[in-house]
Homo-oligomer: A and B are copies of this chain.
Amino acid sequence: MSVAISPLAPKKQPKMPALDGVRIATAQAGVKYKGRTDVLAMVFDEGTTAAGVFTRSKCPSAPVEFCRNNLAGGAARILVVNSGNANAFTGRKGRETTTKVGEAASKAVGASVGEVFMASTGVIGEPLPAERITASLDGMVKAARPEGWLEAAQAIMTTDTYPKVATAMVKLGEVDVTINGIAKGAGMIAPDMATMLSFVVTDAPIAAPVLQELLSKGTGKTFNAVTVDSDTSTSDTLMMFATGAAARRGAPVIEDARDARLSGLRRALNRVLKNLALQVVRDGEGARKQVEITVTGAKSARSAKKIALSIANSPLVKTAVAGEDANWGRVVMAVGKAGEPADRDLISIWFGDIRVAHEGERDAAYSEEAASAYMKRDEIVLRVDLGIGRGKATVWTCDLTKEYVAINGDYRS
């Protein structure tokens, strides 16, 4: 496991405010790691609504199936997350574990099992020792307090080199509401989604179907637009909870996704989601550079995103960035392999403001020195214009370094 903090880590973390209607506890349950917290509980007030977006893997983890089942109810009283073991590909034992944890958690908060949500991250294929988690639950629920968001983010880390938190305050009606989010993820990161766990909580009073729509739409240009290594986890979970506590301060209860009063909250939520998603990229295993890739002039937005992800996932593009080489030939290769409509002789490519290729050829005016100097930055912006339509998309990734190989060739042993 990596020890040094990513050089792309945020210089400072925001101070995370307490949020009405949710209390937090963490514990050292010893699921796998020693000497660190590895279980998180978030306890929600009655009336909290829930929404979720999960991995599209055909082999999802037991907790993902558990959450999908409970989401139909739209109500949440407790979230239990552990690190160190993903409880994925654990068959019948996996379901027994989620049942045990679900029952213990529901008892601890005095709610139904249908109001429990959970997530697990870590090794795949090893049975999860449920009793280590259930043994801690009563104490955690009692000890839970409104503060502790950074500690929450720390408890769910695996190969992450720093905890990921984000917060925003925004008006809903006349009332200030807060959105707090945490995330974990460093490898096995690809859209739809990745061993990426993220939990966002607001005190705004929002009905579950509205919350679901906000969250689902918000992921397209945030969590579903980042990739570290194209590998999709069995456990990806992004959940959002709305405690509704702000209603007591006069915030309007939102029951329709078309409600105009939502617009500020929607933008603030999308900022929080993007902030967390980029923190995941910036903690990409072995990452030394963040790469933003924008494709314009594609046949459609969908086509632009497919091409952008083909570039973002290309090992040859990613190693070139690691080598600080403005190797736009590999970008062309990645455009070509995407299989989407493109006309080779109309393509232009920029690294930052430097146009390196124009209409299918090297740009005669481009200076290799300027491009090389640009590539030394730790944030690289790459743009490709296809010149055939109006489709546009932006995705984010990181470079592929020897450290990625070291971290992943050595993780389990």
Contact = CB atoms under 8 A, between A and B. Distances in A.
Interface of A: 55-60, 86, 88-93, 123-127, 187-188, 190, 229-234, 313-316, 319-320, 322-323, 325, 327-330, 332-342, 344-345, 347, 357, 359-362, 400-402, 404-406, 408-413
Residue from A91, A93, A190, A229 with most neighbouring chain B CB atoms (10 Å): A91
A188 B232 contact: no
B361 A89 contact: yes
A336 B59 contact: yes
A230 B355 CA distance: 27
B91 A345 contact: yes
A320 B234 contact: no
A222 to B, nearest CB: 20
Nearest to A56: B339
B88 A332 contact: yes
Contact of A125 (B322, B329, B401, B405): B329
Nearest to A408: B319
Given A231-B316, A231-B333, 15 more contacts: A55-B336, A58-B339, A59-B335, A59-B336, A89-B332, A89-B347, A125-B332, A231-B314, A231-B330, A315-B315, A315-B404, A325-B410, A400-B405, A401-B405, A401-B409
A378 B193 CA distance: 33
Copies per complex? 2
Contacts of A360: 89-91
A58 B231 contact: no
B409 A336 contact: no
Nearest to A332: B89
Given A232-B333, A323-B410, A400-B405, A357 B316 contact: no
Nearest to A93: B361
Contact of A337 (B124, B232, B335, B361): B232
A295 to B, nearest CB: 13
Contacts of A230: 230, 313-315
A342 B57 CA distance: 10
A234 B332 contact: yes
Contacts of A91: 344-345, 359-361
A99 to B, nearest CB: 16
Smallest CB-CB A-B distances: 10 pairs: A124-B329, A323-B409, A57-B336, A59-B336, A91-B361, A319-B408, A232-B337, A91-B360, A402-B402, A125-B329
Contacts of A411: 320, 323, 325, 327
B325 A231 contact: no
**Which residue of A315, A327, A334, A339 has the most chain B CB atoms within 10 A of its CB atom?**
A315
Contacts of A337: 56-58, 190, 231-232
A59 B124 CA distance: 39
A322 B123 CA distance: 18
B126 A362 contact: yes
A12 to B, nearest CB: 31
A409 B322 contact: yes
Contacts of A56: 337, 339
Given A341-B58, A402-B406, A405-B400, A336 B413 contact: no
A334 B337 CA distance: 20
A336 B60 CA distance: 7
A408 B413 CA distance: 27
A404 B328 CA distance: 19
A234 B345 CA distance: 14
Contacts of A344: 58-60, 89, 91
